[in-house]
Structure 1
Amino acid sequence: MDDDSELDFDIPGRATAVAAEALYLANLMLIPGLGFLALLVLWWRERERAPELARGHLRQTLAASLWAGVLLVAANAAIILLGGYDSAYTWIVVVLYFTTCHATLIFCGAIGLSRALAGKPFRFPLIGPR
């Protein structure tokens, strides 16, 4: 292998960037709410002293988590406006939300995690701050 294809594990901020992306994915898939609180604590502790790579991933994952919450509230509002949880439209909204919004957020989080593992920056499309 040549030197360009090897990962550099000594990149400043890499571990914090990986932790931020992992907590973002944990919030979406494994431990909703608790993963967000852990991400918020990590952001609060590291937001000023972390290297640029880590600050970028922290900023992106926090913004994406907030957008995920907004989209979840919007999906619930759509269900209520379309007749409540007993309506036939409920499953339409749920399936559309999970196949478009939630799956896209997870896909972007997986890409962000792979970029963090490689020690590279990542910006979430559309919802990520610059």
Structure 2
Amino acid sequence: MLLRAVLILLCVSSPAWSQAITAFCAGGVTGGGGGMRAERDGRIVQLRRDRLKPSIETELGRDAAAVAAWNAALDRAAFDTLRLHAPGNITCSLRRGSRAIAWSLEPPASLAAEIRTVFRELRSWRPPSRSGDKTGSTPRP
């Protein structure tokens, strides 16, 4: 348990190990889109872009443990070596640092389960309840 805590702290504090991750979908009839960005420092930001309007960013909370876990999952799945660019009418993407992959609406079954899980968890992350839970509502990988 102590080792896990130390590893999480190292991941959060090390720029080489923890990078911003963005899960975003856009397109369709409206041309707008939305998603979430997990910052290196643990902040979780909701992103929304309406058609022909500037993007709106809303900070929802912090979850440094989730950001570290998502980065570790992407490392295990060799995310930085992937090449996937299959846009559609509605295109979804997962970006970490300067590396991005994109697909049409649903992540392809051929994509590693860990990558699909990171995308799903980040897109569905919600702030902790007011009952004192400090970890957010996303299950950890």
Higher helix share: 1
Kindly name which structure, 1 or 2, has the bigger radius of gyration based on alpha carbons: 1
The TM-score with structure 2 as length reference comes to 0.31
Highest RCO, 1 vs 2 (Cα 8 Å, sep ≥ 6): 1
Higher strand share: 2
